[in-house]
Amino acid sequence: MSKGAVLILGATSDIGLAVAHRFAGLGHPVQLAARDAAGLEATRTDMALRHNVEVTTHDFDALALESHAGFIDALPELPRIAVCAVGLMGEQSENEADMERAVRVMRSNYEGPASIFGHLANRFAARGSGALVGISSVAGLRGRATNYIYGSAKAGFTAYLSGLRNRLAGEGVHVLTVLPGFVATRMTEDLELPEKLTAEPEEVADAIEAALRKGRNIIYVRKIWWLIMTIICNIPERIFKGMKI
């Protein structure tokens, strides 16, 4: 893997930071992008000193679609790899009751990430190289009563990544879809998660780096989630609609 710059979208997230450290540790320059880039200054300094690589910070708002093209233009260089760790779960009950909350979750997990990846895809295709890594979720593989607002947005993003991968297959641009199950992050800290099914952010980062190196298209973190979701997706609808899982 060449040592080109790696762009982390959603760099204040636990997964985004873990991925940034993983690639910085391999000698890649890192571009950290988030809504509050100023708040990443301590992280930037630590990462640059620890890994002896160039680290820059950039303001990025996934929901400000009109700013996405200019954001890319302002980067010190077009990255070799772009990783989207942008996401918002919210509480399902609150999302059901408040449509503004629901729309924000949908836009944060699908519309914003798809928009910035669309711009990057065009730049990468024109260059003839690059990799786009979209962190989606197993929650998008079947709508479930307990998180269908979040899950529906992730379903859209997963489908988008699939189509983008198909479109770019002959243009030198690789698209990787990452499907984590439970991950121990600030977003899930109030949930009681089963230990054997819950990955650490560093585990996600390691899986992404290995998948890019091996040219993988879709990965589950952890692998047991492939089996779990295969079972869930094959439950007949007449039974599934009464399960409330």
Structure tokens belonging to residue 162: 């699939």
How many residues does the structure list for the chain?
245
Coil vs helix vs strand at 174: strand
Q: Are 83 and 177 in contact (CB under 8 A)?
A: no
Q: Which residues does 65 contact at the CB level (< 8 Å), separation at least 6?
A: 111, 112, 115
Region for residue 34 given its phi and psi (left: phi exceeds 0; alpha: psi -120 to 50; beta: otherwise): beta
The answer to whether the CB of 137 falls within 8 A of the CB of 199 is no
CA distance 146 to 152: 12
The two three-digit tokens of residue 36, written as one number: 């509050």
Contact partners, residue 5, CB within 8 Å, separation at least 6: 28, 29, 30, 31, 75, 76, 77, 78, 79, 80, 81
Options 110, 150, 160, 220, the catalytic residue? 150
Give the full edge-to-edge strand order of the sheet including 173-180: 55-59, 30-34, 6-9, 81-84, 130-135, 173-180, 218-221
CA 88/CA 90 separation, integer angstroms? 6
Known catalytic residue at 148: no
Active-site amino acid positions: 150
